[in-house]
């Protein structure tokens, strides 16, 4: 059934996921009309119900369970709504899993993006913000902040899919007039909505990312944090990474969306704080916030890990006007509030 939609909509792919759902909330709070598509392979619809409450919606947020590899299902969504722009999150995203299942990652991430760009072209939708990743960079500049012009070179199938997705979008933009695209390469998102009602809900028994793992140890779901390596060339021997609060990240996507109307063509921006924390510093800060010891054990290094990965955020500050507003303590406090009130995620 067609929806009466004279006003434009922003299509958010992967909008039930961690970053996607928080971005949907920011979009709604700023007056955008939003339609969400997601295949729910690693998420559920519950985040959208919480978005509706936080945004004070009087009607249900439009959602369609569609896999981007289902081109006809995607075309049907475009037929129903007056879509003016797209924020593209939908992708498989676990580095380790991508090594074991590379074809699944190429099929889902790359083929899905190709279908999305084809469909956007068919329906004359020429504005897209893409959720990319710092994994597209060569891991050779240890200790030096990564700039947008650093050499590219991925160490995992996941990273390669992100680079291929960027390339598909870039080529489409350069081949036809009127396109505007922004690639947002971000580093390590963490935290949760300050209400404690929305956050990261890993589907795996053992979370792939550090901070959800730390939070689950803090609340007693897991016995200890496994720290991989203590002999790196850093201040305490553990790896340094650049963390960014999920709400800062969500707000950056909306800032980028607004910039699309200025017709800059194809652009790339790094998103991060420009400062780094070691693994042990992250554990200690979470311990301080939650008021309890968080046990950890030192394990051998993992293959491919390097000492330090930092963002050089000055381009985003200068051209987007984006700087992070939430510090490490707030990331941990918001994450802990979410973990306490939702020990089993969205279940």
CB-based contact 338:245 (threshold 8 Å): no
Residues carrying an active site annotation: 158
Q: Which positions ≥6 away from 306 have C-beta within 8 Å?
A: 139, 142, 232, 239
CB-based contact 23:87 (threshold 8 Å): yes
Give the tokens for residue 228: 């991989």
Question: What is the full DSSP assignment across 271-310?
Answer: ES-S--EEHHHHHHHHHHHHTS---EEEEPPPTT--SEE-
Exposed e or buried b for every residue in 171-210, given b needs 16+ CB within 10 A? ebbeeeeebbbbbbbbbbbbbbbeebbbbbbbeeeebebb
């Amino acid at each position: 059934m067609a929806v009466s939609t004279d006003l434009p909509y922003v299509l958010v792919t992967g909008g039930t996921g961690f970053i996607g759902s928080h971005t949907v909330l920011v979009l709604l709070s700023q007056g955008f009309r939003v339609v969400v598509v997601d295949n729910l392979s690693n998420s559920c619809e519950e985040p959208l119900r919480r978005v509706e409450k936080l945004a004070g919606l009087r009607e249900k947020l439009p959602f369609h369970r569609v896999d981007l590899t289902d081109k006809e299902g995607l075309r049907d969504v475009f037929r129903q709504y007056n879509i003016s722009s797209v924020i593209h999150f939908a992708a498989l995203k676990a580095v380790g899993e991508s090594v074991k299942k590379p074809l699944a990652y190429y099929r889902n991430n790359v083929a899905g993006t190709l279908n999305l760009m084809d469909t956007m072209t068919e329906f004359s939708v020429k504005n897209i913000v893409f959720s990319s990743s710092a994994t597209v960079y060569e891991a050779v500049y240890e200790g030096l902040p990564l700039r947008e012009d650093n050499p590219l070179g991925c160490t995992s199938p996941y990273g390669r899919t992100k680079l291929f997705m960027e390339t598909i979008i870039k080529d489409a933009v350069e081949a036809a007039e009127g396109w505007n695209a922004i690639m947002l390469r971000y580093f390590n998102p963490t935290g949760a909505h300050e209400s404690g009602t929305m956050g990261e809900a890993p589907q795996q028994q053992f979370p792939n990312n550090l901070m959800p793992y730390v939070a689950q140890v803090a609340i007693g779901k897991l016995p200890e944090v496994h720290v991989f390596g203590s002999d790196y060339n850093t201040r305490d021997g553990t790896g340094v990474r650049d963390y960014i609060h999920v709400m800062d990240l969500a707000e950056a996507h909306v800032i980028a969306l607004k910039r699309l109307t200025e017709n800059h063509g194809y652009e790339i921006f790094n998103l991060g704080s420009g400062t780094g924390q070691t693994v042990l510093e992250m554990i200690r800060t979470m311990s301080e916030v939650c008021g309890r010891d968080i046990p950890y054990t030192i394990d051998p290094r993992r293959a491919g890990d390097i000492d330090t990965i930092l963002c050089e955020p000055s381009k985003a500050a200068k051209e987007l006007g984006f700087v992070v507003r939430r510090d490490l303590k707030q990331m941990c406090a918001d994450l802990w509030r979410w973990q306490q009130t939702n020990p089993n995620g969205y279940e």
